[in-house]
Amino acid sequence: MHQLTIAEIIRGLRDRQFSSVEITSHLLERIQQLDSQFNSFITVTGEQAIQQAAAADARLAQGNAPALCGVPIAHKDIFCTNGVRTSCASKMLDNFVPPYDATVVDNFLQAGAVSLGKTNMDEFAMGSSNESSYYGAVKNPWDVERIPGGSSGGSAAAVAAQLVPATTASDTGGSIRQPAAMTGTTGLKPTYGRVSRWGMIAFASSLDQGGPIARTAEDAALMLSVMAGPDTKDSTCLDRPTQDYTANLNESISGLKIGVPSEYFGEGLDSEVGARVQEALKEYEKLGAELVEISLPHSKLAVPAYYVIAPAEASANLSRFDGVRYGYRCENPADLRDLYMRSRGEGFGEEVKRRILVGSYALSAGYYDAYYNKAQQVRRLIKQDFVDAFQKVDVIMGPTAPNPAFKLGEKNADPVAMYLEDIYTIATNLAGLPGMSIPCGFAHGLPVGLQLIGNYLDEARMLNIAHQFQQASDWHQKIAPAAQ
């Protein structure tokens, strides 16, 4: 039953082939048996899941079930869940039990989905390897000595290990797409503001965006249909109507113009990864698409601009963790200053502290114009590259990440080397565009992701383009050895 996609589970539940309680129990058992190898969950909410599943079965029997009624999913531990500990993988929030649900979590409850628990991640979503979690690193189901990518490494590993068919995740600089690439799963980062950020613990507010990780583009479309939409509780959430993202999946992509940016195939790209991406592009040509060489001349500046903007916004956002209103407080503070300094010094991990310090530097007196303002100007240049490209093409494609999954510990000593793993995904966040990663083969025996970048609010078309590839290929159906 664990091999089933969400689309198949929906059909199975409606045709009474199995009940929600049955599939939910089955997956909970799998988590219990297998997840000690991967560490993809921080919290498993078994009892609550069975209750939700039983309620879903009752609704299914009545015949008025909502879209994902009885379908098991899991939430990245960045989304607040009413009554369930939401840690953001930090010691700072190890004891934090929110009294409310994030809008995304509420949307899934309204849709009848069953939550199995909360998935592991890099602390406060800051990382590309899922090694900065307070609860320990997540291991890649394709090779447990390797990282699953980050920051949504738990969400991706849980899907790849077939512990759950799909998960929620978030993406600030590649945190959905890069782990999807590393684990052979399908990840979608929507247009900035398409999915509400309310109740999603903030990292860099002008970049953060929630989205799904699933096994197929069709499942990602089903998930996004639940997640997306306006929200009066998030003033940056776009006030534009949402849609059924599965409606266009089967349209032909004949005549599609695919932009291939030369900057995404240069120095630093693993040759086998590059070869798999080129093969995927050839497959698209067979499906009737036309490849158009394009240039995104400011690509090289994306990582430097990001490492000003994201830390600056993080330093402001994470100032709320002060040891006073919630979260970790140090023992026996001497005075208020000591309480702040030690609660934050002890409650945050190394990478989080590093980014807060960088952000404080960029925002400090005399440096604001030289760093934050400059980065925001460069950000517009990066966006303009994409605007120009979309005059000529319908979608942009390239590799999701320059390398397949690396070994645990390999890049820990060098933050800048780790940052460069997101070299192809970061520009999309800076521009606010939607992006996807879909499996397109293997390099050195490990999964490779093909990245799709769509125009603003063009998620339905991007999903259609991804779905057509998955109809013609079976890379997304390959199963990680440890999941068998």
Partner 1 sequence: MAVDAQTVEKLAELARIAISKETIDDVSSRLGDVLQLVDQLQAVNTDGVEPMAHPLDEVQVLRRDQVTEPNRREEFLALAPQTEAGLYLVPKVID
128 is catalytic: no
175 is catalytic: yes
Shortest distance (Å) from residue 373 CB to partner 1 = 5
Rounded to a whole number, what is the largest CA-CA distance in the chain? 70
Q: Angle CA(435)–CA(439)–CA(444) in degrees, nearest 5? A: 125
- Is there binding between residue 286 and partner 1 (CB under 8 A)? no
How is residue 262 written in tokens?
């030369």
Tell me the C-alpha distance between 170 and 209, whole Å.
Answer: 6
175, 225, 299, 315: which is the annotated catalytic residue? 175
- Is there binding between residue 99 and partner 1 (CB under 8 A)? yes
Nearer to partner 1, 154 or 311 (CB): 311
Count of residues that bind partner 1 according to CB under 8 A: 72
Residues 382-401 interacting with partner 1 (rule: CB under 8 A): 383
- Is there binding between residue 193 and partner 1 (CB under 8 A)? yes
Nearer to partner 1, 247 or 370 (CB): 370
- Is there binding between residue 265 and partner 1 (CB under 8 A)? no
**Phi, then psi, of 373 in degrees rounded to 5:** -65, -45
Segment near partner 1 (CB under 8 A); pick from 50-58, 103-111, 143-151, 378-386: 378-386
**One character per residue 157-186, x = contact with partner 1 (rule: CB under 8 A):** ------------------------------
Q: Quick check: 319 and 360 in contact, CB under 8 A?
A: no
What is the DSSP track for 377-436? HHHHHHHHHHHHHTTT-SEEEEESSSSSPPBTTTTTT-HHHHHGGGTTTHHHHHHT--EE
What is the DSSP track for 257-278? EEEEEGGGGSTT--HHHHHHHH
How is residue 210 written in tokens?
């929630």
Q: If 0-12 CB within 10 Å is exposed, 13-18 middle and 19+ buried, where does residue 413 land?
A: exposed
Residues 412-431 interacting with partner 1 (rule: CB under 8 A): 414-416, 419, 431
87, 90, 151, 152: which is the annotated catalytic residue? 151
Shortest distance (Å) from residue 100 CB to partner 1 = 8
Segment near partner 1 (CB under 8 A); pick from 24-32, 96-104, 216-224, 259-267: 96-104
Nearer to partner 1, 274 or 359 (CB): 359
Shortest distance (Å) from residue 325 CB to partner 1 = 5
- Is there binding between residue 85 and partner 1 (CB under 8 A)? no
**Phi, then psi, of 367 in degrees rounded to 5:** -110, -10
> Using CB under 8 A, which of 177, 197, 276, 379 touches partner 1?
379
CB atoms within 10 A of CB 226: 25
189 is catalytic: no
What is the DSSP track for 201-217? --S-TTT-EEEEEESSH
